[in-house]
Amino acid sequence: MTAIPLGVPRRLVEFTLDGREARVPEGSTILDACRAAGKDIPTLCQGDTLAPKNACRVCVVEVEGARTLAPACSRKAEAGMEVRTDTERARHSRKVVLELLASSVNLSTTPRAAEWIKEYEAKPDRFGPNAARVDEEPRVDNDLYVRDYDKCILCYKCVDACGDQWQNTFAISVVGRGFDARIAVEHDAPLTDSACVYCGNCVEVCPTGALSFKSEFDMRAAGTWNEAEQTETTTVCAYCGVGCNLTLHVQDNEIVKVTSPHDNPVTHGNLCIKGRFGYQHVQNRD
């Protein structure tokens, strides 16, 4: 007998989404159904290559008959359920989540954060100027990537990418509890004294820019980072024979960042140190 179950064919689940009939394959989440229906639900800790962690609560929706709001990113669609995404209660909850996050964390490099704050009329300032913040200098302890704790929302995506979901290096974890919780390598040491293998797969999934490539970090600091002027070209890595797809982000004819398509059958968005960072040789031009 094989140890690997082949599974049964997936059926379609029918339920009601904001008063309309929705049909999604069995196993889909409410978020999948919302996106299929063209609804824009904000998400931060959700990752397309990762199992949901339900950490940020910004995607909550109301499920008829449930006492609490449900995170759309992880709650599976069930036959006959009635889901409402835009109720007063759901919107209020998202607003408070955004206020709490934006008051304690620097969301300046979080894609769409400003847009959502506006849309939900969140007022992060209402906690006053002394709201709890980490207030730390970004940690620059190697030449490849930077850790900026002021921007960390503790969503655990980096921990999952480094750990059992992809990289299986387990270099980082959550240390401390409650208000002291933070993502760190063992003994909160510099990266160069840790188990880190510099694959950058944590940077790939970070939703806020708390983890960023040093190239991007330096250019932002110098005021030269300009995404509008960047091209993104997907090609194939020049190192080993595995054939990982690389998306080269190029500005002024310099590679400034390397990512990988998350739906690629070879990489699923993951790379190793060579593919992610080993590009400098082509632009040693004089």
Partner 1 sequence: MKKRDRTPKTYTRLTHPLVRDSRDEPFRRATWDEALARAADGFRRTKEAHGPDAFAMLSCARATNEMNYVAQKFTRVVMGTNNVDSCNRTCHAPSVAGLSAAFGSGGGTSSYEEVEHTDLVVMWGSNARFAHPIFFQHVLRGIRNGARMYAVDPRRTSTAEWAESWLGLNVGTDIPLAHAVGREIIHAGLHNKAFIERATTGFDEYAELVEPWTLSLAEKVTGVPAAAIRDLAHAYATAERAQLCWTLGITEHHNGTDNVRALINLSLLTGHVGRYASGVQPLRGQNNVQGGGDMGAIPNRLPGFQDILDAAHRVKFERAWGTEIPPRYGMTLTDMFEAMEHGELHAVYCIGENPAQSEADSEQAIRRLAALDHLVVQDIFLTKTAEMAEMADVVLPATAAWAETDGTTTNSERRVQRVRAALTPPGEAREDIDIICEVAVRLGHDWKFADSEAVWNELRSLSPDHFGMTYDRLTEHQGLQWPCPDLEVLPSSFLHGRLWESDPALRGPAAPFGLVAHDPPVDLTDESFPIRLTTGRRLDSYNTGVQSGGYASPLRRGEYVELCPEDAERYGVVVGEEVRVSSRRGVVVAPVWVDPALRPGLAFMTMHFPDEVDTNQLTIEANCPIAGTAEFKASAIRIEKLPVAAVRS
- Please report, as ranges, the residues that interact with partner 1 according to CB under 8 A: 1-4, 142-144, 164, 166-168, 191-192, 196-199, 231, 233-246, 248, 250, 253, 255, 261, 263-268, 270-275, 277-286
Query: Which C-beta is closer to partner 1: that of 44 or that of 203?
Result: 203
Q: Write down the least CB distance from residue 142 to partner 1, Å.
A: 4
Q: Write down the least CB distance from residue 45 to partner 1, Å.
A: 22
Q: Which ranges in the chain belong to alpha helices (H)? A: 30-36, 88-104, 113-119, 157-162, 201-205, 214-222, 273-277
Q: Write down the least CB distance from residue 114 to partner 1, Å.
A: 30
Q: Do 47 and 109 touch, CB atoms closer than 8 A?
A: no
Query: Which C-beta is closer to partner 1: that of 136 or that of 263?
Result: 263
Q: Do 134 and 149 touch, CB atoms closer than 8 A?
A: yes
Q: Write down the least CB distance from residue 143 to partner 1, Å.
A: 4
Strands (E), 40-155: 60-63, 70-71, 82-84, 145-147
Q: Structure tokens of 232?
A: 């993104």
Q: Report the candidate in 256, 145, 154, 153 with the shortest Cα–Cα distance to residue 190.
A: 145
Q: Do 41 and 31 touch, CB atoms closer than 8 A?
A: yes
